[in-house]
Amino acid sequence: MDDDVTLGLLCLGVFSLPIIIFVGLHFCTLMCMPEVIASSPNQRAPQDQRLNGMERGLDEATVRSYPKLLYSQFKIQNGNSVGSSCSVCLADYKDTDMLRMLPACAHVFHAKCVDPWLRMHASCPICRKSPLRTPVAEEPPLTASQH
């Protein structure tokens, strides 16, 4: 009977030891090397984009150069074509709210909402159109007589 218990414990140890070692090594790897966890492409993408220059915001002078006016003034100038809420914070506009208009697409937002967005992203939060002029956009279009 004593031999059966010893044999059973020996078999249990032989089969469970590799599992315990694997789990222990896995835990140590995750705890000691956190960069392994963050090495998946999905987790690195935002940081890599900023480092590679693909995702850069606008400088303060450019953001401040975009038109800014009260919602009440904007309604008078644009009639019914103006939206009633900010697409960034989703709050309804009040007549006293200061809005900023993006020149490339004419979308408007609360200035306090879109200014931080533009400092981080050089694009409209709605249509993703860049408000910056590009050299290609500044070139006059080719006409048939120039070919």
Domain containing residue 9: 2-39
C-alpha distances in angstroms, 39 versus 30, 55, 98? 12, 20, 42
Question: What pLDDT score does 8 carry?
Answer: 76
Asked, for residue 15, whether it belongs to a domain, the answer is: yes
Per-residue pLDDT at 34 exceeds 90: no
- For residue 22, tell me if it sits in a domain: yes
- Percent of the residues in the chain that have a pLDDT greater than 90, as a whole number: 36
Q: What SS3 state is found at 70? A: strand
Which residue would you say has higher pLDDT here, 47 or 113? 113
**Would you say residue 29 lies in a domain?**
yes
Look at residue 45 and tell me if it is in a domain.
no
| DSSP letter for each residue of 1-50 | -HHHHHHHHHHHHHHHHHHHHHHHHHHHHHHH-HHHHTTSHHHHHHHHHH
Using the predicted structure, report yes or no on whether residue 140 has a pLDDT greater than 60. no
Using pLDDT thresholds of 50, 70 and 90, give the confidence band for residue 116.
very high
Confidence check: pLDDT of 45 > 70: no
Whether residues 31 and 68 share a domain: the answer is no
One domain for residues 81 and 112: yes
Per-residue pLDDT, 14: 78
The 10s digit of each residue's pLDDT in 51-78 is: 455 567 899 999 999 999 999 998 888 8
Q: What is the DSSP letter of 99?
A: E
Question: Region 101-126: what's the mean pLDDT?
Answer: 93
Per-residue pLDDT tens over the stretch 94-109:
999 999 999 989 899 9
Domain count, the chain: 2
pLDDT of residue 66: 93
